[in-house]
Structure 1
Amino acid sequence: MCCSDFLRVIMVAFNGIIFVAGAAILGVGIWVKVDSGSLLKILEQVENTPAELNQIFYVGYLLIAVGSVLVLLGFLGCCGAIRKSPCMLLTFFIIVLLVFIAEVSGAIVILVFKPLVDTLIEKIGHEAVQRIKVDYGKNPNFTEVWNATMDGLHCCGFYNYTDFTDSPFYKNNGHSYPRMCCDKSPCNLQTADTSNVSGCYFELVNLIENNAVILGAVALGIAALEIAAMAVSMQLYRKSSQEH
């Protein structure tokens, strides 16, 4: 078996896996959005199911988007290698290159323009707090998402318990705060002020910092796979162009 044939087999196998994985993710995303009631019934039948799992259908759109991109990449890479199609291989290369550039650009923005990132986070935090004060306890979906987030990260609000002051929940529950904001009940101003519950923003930062090595290794692994995929697709593209 010559080098180009070996690369073609690797390309087909690799992208075949991507295509199947993307199709599975896409299917789950569509199912979550179309038939979320059945999914919730299944979750209810599982013993000791965490409450935050009930919010899984909120990520349906994300699953659909990720699955669609993976299906497209897998199709282009697999069919391009099998049919020796320069057009498909070039399209595959361009898409992977764009994803790679976006990842590198994001990393550069975070490292070089950290003050800008901090300003953006501050703006997002301000908008999140304002939304909490308007919709928490009034909008069921928004309230459930925040409850799941606070349960999962063991946190309270975006910054702290004061984010909920004057919210619909605060006004309709005798000036009390969500149970996640206190170490003991009832969760009022006194118990919330003496609790050790941090804001979700700080808990998320701690989670990222504590897993920075793992996240960095995963990012480097993904980057290496993308570079390898681009190199193989370009080699096959060159061979296919010469044959055509």
Structure 2
Amino acid sequence: MGCFGFLKGMMFLFNGVIFLAGAAILGVGIWVKVDSGSILSLLGKIQNTPTELSQVLNVGYLLIAVGALLVIIGFLGCCGAVRESQCMLLLFFIIVLLVFIAEVAGAIVILVFRPLADQLFAQIGTAAVQSIRSDYGANADVTGLWNTTMTTLQCCGFYNASDFVGSPYYTNNRNQFPPQCCPGFSNPCNQMVAGNSTVSGCFPKIKLLIDSNTVAIVAVALGIAALEICAMAVSMILYCKIKSMKS
């Protein structure tokens, strides 16, 4: 009985955390859809954007769906354990199993269609450079977004400083680049100074960050998979135990 009570407590605690996390994600998703001044609305203003990028505008719906799913899973797990409901525990097991299968299928799809992702990133890069050269220094939203991105990531442009050549900022400031492209230099950020700078583009910086943390990302993914397997095992143990107690 002590082991049964321990499993019930762990089930309640674990799914309570899932419920709260789901509620937070659900709230963020709703906020993203309601906030008209978010970055998502800015992406829709970029000219010559690849059609695939328009799917990013639906990230709010994705967050809402994920949040709602986590809330449901957390609710079923908590209530199923506390109320010793076989129906809730079985439904919890089925949903987590479906999520696990979907994650495995998604991982396989990502590996198989990775070349298409590289092609999409190339199209996004072309659109980003065109946006910089047409709007940076003239459009306050685009300028502010890039300034924030470059300052936060300590990078310059999408690929490099040459992305700004021909932009309104470059033209209006006597062929100078943004100061983020020449950190540590007191001279104006011109072609020569930017060429001596070691700052990389934002896309290579993000790609390097992902590549350097591949092991951590894989470890987190495996950890989540292990937790899902444990959750399914515990729910099924409780289900069988409750069934035997009632029979």
TM-score, length of structure 1 as denominator length: 0.70
CA shift at 1:219, angstroms? 1.9
Matches within 5 A, 1:1-244: 1=1, 5-23=5-23, 65=64, 68-183=68-183, 184=185, 185-237=187-239
Q: 1:26–1:63: 8 Å Cα contact kept in structure 2?
A: no
Question: Which residue type is aligned with residue 133 of structure 1?
Answer: R
Alpha-carbon RMSD: 3.6
Q: 1:175–1:188: 8 Å Cα contact kept in structure 2?
A: yes
CA shift at 1:179, angstroms? 1.2
Could you list the per-position Cα deviations for residues 189-237 of structure 1 after superposition, in whole angstroms to 9, with x for gaps in the alignment? 2322332221111111222232233222222111111121123234445
TM-score, length of structure 2 as denominator length: 0.69
Question: Which residue type is aligned with residue 214 of structure 2?
Answer: A
Greater displacement, 146-155 / 80-89: 80-89
Gaps of 5+ in 2: 36-58
For residues 63 and 142 of structure 2, what CA distance do their matches in structure 1 show?
21
For residues 96 and 135 of structure 2, what CA distance do their matches in structure 1 show?
40
Q: Cα distance 1:174–1:22, how it changes in 2: closer, same or farther (>3 A)?
A: same
Gaps of 5+ in 1: 36-59
For residues 97 and 127 of structure 2, what CA distance do their matches in structure 1 show?
34
Alignment match, 2:41: none
Q: Cα distance 1:25–1:117, how it changes in 2: closer, same or farther (>3 A)?
A: closer
Greater displacement, 81-90 / 193-202: 81-90
CA shift at 1:145, angstroms? 2.9
**Aligned residue pairs, count:** 220
For residues 64 and 198 of structure 1, what CA distance do their matches in structure 2 show?
31
Could you list the per-position Cα deviations for residues 57-110 of structure 1 after superposition, in whole angstroms to 9, with x for gaps in the alignment? xxx969964655443332222122223445543443344334433433343234
Q: Secondary structure at the match of 1:192?
A: helix
Q: Cα distance 1:206–1:88, how it changes in 2: closer, same or farther (>3 A)?
A: same
CA shift at 1:133, angstroms? 2.9
Could you list the per-position Cα deviations for residues 163-205 of structure 1 after superposition, in whole angstroms to 9, with x for gaps in the alignment? 2223333344333222111242412223223322211111112
For residues 70 and 130 of structure 1, what CA distance do their matches in structure 2 show?
39
Alignment match, 2:56: none
Q: Cα distance 1:95–1:176, how it changes in 2: closer, same or farther (>3 A)?
A: farther
